Structure 1
Amino acid sequence: MKHRVLLAGATGLVGQSVLQQALDHPAIGQVVAPTRRPLPAHPKLLNPVVDFEALPDDAAWWAVDAVICTLGTTIKKAGSQAAFYRVDHDHPLRVAELARRHGARAYALNSALGADAASRVFYSRTKGELERDLQLLGFPSLTFVRPGLIGGERGESRPAEQIGVKLSQWLRPLLPARYRVVPAERIAFCLLQAALAEGQGLHVILSDAIL
């Protein structure tokens, strides 16, 4: 039987790569990708247009085998720490809650290097709190992929991140593997493999293991 996978965050850099790989994957029969704006049609794609602030509790499309979450923004784009927290913590958690309620057994999250619920850094603390809260939902298979800087062509401008990526590329021979730029395609591959494998328990994949 082919897998039915839900992808939250299909329009972002990593999410776009997950979507393409998932649609091409022979073991996947359908990709459910809720988005705020319609995606290009594809025979294997179900694309509910939603408001992530008010996700439908009882939609039939929540019934999937696995979830991949690549939702995320920046504080600058979100406009405030509170708005950032909703996108990077509350929305991924709500997606997880609803999918788990409808029977999803695996959840793979694109988290971040340094995720720690006790961190003094707001970004890292937000990612860590999401990881902590996801563990309370009872997924038989839960995977956190923690990349550092992500390489790829974004549809939006992130100057600070772009500078960091360029510096990391220049210094690559001197940097430990964990701090090198990770191609979005590799992150997507790891997320997809984790979701399909449904390995029992909690799994954390650090940046150096993605390369």
Structure 2
Amino acid sequence: MGKTAIVIGATGLVGSHLVEELIVATHISKVITLTRRPAPYKNEKVINHVVDFDHLAQHAQLFKADILFSCLGTTKKAAGSIAAQRKVDFYYQLKAAELAANYGVKHYLLVSSSGANAHSNNAYLKMKGELEQTVKTLAFDQISIIQPSLLVGERNNDFRLAEKLGNAVLPILCWLPGLKKYRPITGKQVAIKMSALSAESGSGVAYFKLDELFKD
């Protein structure tokens, strides 16, 4: 019997590709997507629930599953402030992780960031590092923390200048000796890796950084 997976951030760059990967994954029988707005998939394997992330505990029963993929993320510009960004990138994801752990989810997979560090002077890297540290204390059998480099790809109604520049310049620079492992990675490549990781049994905490995420 296949496993039930939950995806938060299912409409984002990584999450949207991840749902597509899980649809064809033989080890997954059901995909539950939790979104702020309706996000239907034309596949009977996917069940979408619209939830209020500010009151996620009201939807606690939806976290009865085997695997949780946490792919939420935003920018300071899109959120309006660092505090608003932190609500999405830290508090929403932490609450989802806590609910999942309480309901016996075995494997937790988190999309974090390269350079994540709870002691960083950079607000974004600090919140990512703090989230990593906190979720590691929760009662999951297996935790996979994904730390991609610059994520590139098409985002719905979300123009990010840094990513556009990265798309154009970094793929060339990063073929120089010693820099290949820092080249940008697409959301689809990360999704493929996450789907594959969810099929593997294990225990404890594992990190997957930069070039380790590339299929090749």
Q: Same fold (TM over 0.5)?
A: yes
Match of 1:79 in 2: 80
RMSD: 1.3
Match of 1:2 in 2: 2
- Determine if the alignment matches structure 1 residue 165 to structure 2 residue 167: yes
- Determine if the alignment matches structure 1 residue 201 to structure 2 residue 209: no
**Is 1:141–1:202's contact at 8 Å kept on the other side of the alignment?**
yes
Task: State the alpha-carbon separation in 1 of the partners of residues 59 and 68 from structure 2.
Answer: 17
Structure 1 portions without partners, runs of 5+: none
Counting aligned pairs with the same residue, the percent is: 35
- Determine if the alignment matches structure 1 residue 181 to structure 2 residue 184: yes
**Is 2:67–2:198's contact at 8 Å kept on the other side of the alignment?**
yes
Structure 2 portions without partners, runs of 5+: none
Task: State the alpha-carbon separation in 1 of the partners of residues 90 and 59 from structure 2.
Answer: 21
Deviations 1:14-62 (A, max 9, x none): 1000010011112211001000111124201111101111113454321
Task: State the alpha-carbon separation in 2 of the partners of residues 178 and 119 from structure 1.
Answer: 22
1:4 maps to a residue whose letter is: T
**Is 2:34–2:50's contact at 8 Å kept on the other side of the alignment?**
yes
**Is 2:108–2:140's contact at 8 Å kept on the other side of the alignment?**
yes
- Determine if the alignment matches structure 1 residue 210 to structure 2 residue 213: yes
Task: State the alpha-carbon separation in 1 of the partners of residues 116 and 134 from structure 2.
Answer: 13
- Using structure 1 for the length normalisation, give the TM-score: 0.95
Q: Shift of the alpha carbon at 1:196?
A: 2.8
Q: Shift of the alpha carbon at 1:164?
A: 2.5
- Using structure 2 for the length normalisation, give the TM-score: 0.93
Secondary structure at 1:47's aligned position in 2? strand
2:62 maps to a residue whose letter is: W
Secondary structure at 2:92's aligned position in 1? helix
Match of 1:48 in 2: 49
Match of 2:122 in 1: 121
**Is 1:3–1:196's contact at 8 Å kept on the other side of the alignment?**
no
Task: State the alpha-carbon separation in 2 of the partners of residues 183 and 125 from structure 1.
Answer: 23
**Is 1:178–1:206's contact at 8 Å kept on the other side of the alignment?**
no
Comparing 105-114 with 187-196, greater Cα deviation is found at 187-196
**Is 1:109–1:191's contact at 8 Å kept on the other side of the alignment?**
no
- TM alignment of 1:51-130, pairs within 5 A: 51-57=52-58, 59-130=60-131
Secondary structure at 1:163's aligned position in 2? helix
Q: Shift of the alpha carbon at 1:197?
A: 1.7
Task: State the alpha-carbon separation in 2 of the partners of residues 58 and 108 from structure 1.
Answer: 20
Match of 1:11 in 2: 11
Deviations 1:91-133 (A, max 9, x none): 1111110111111011001110001111111111110000000
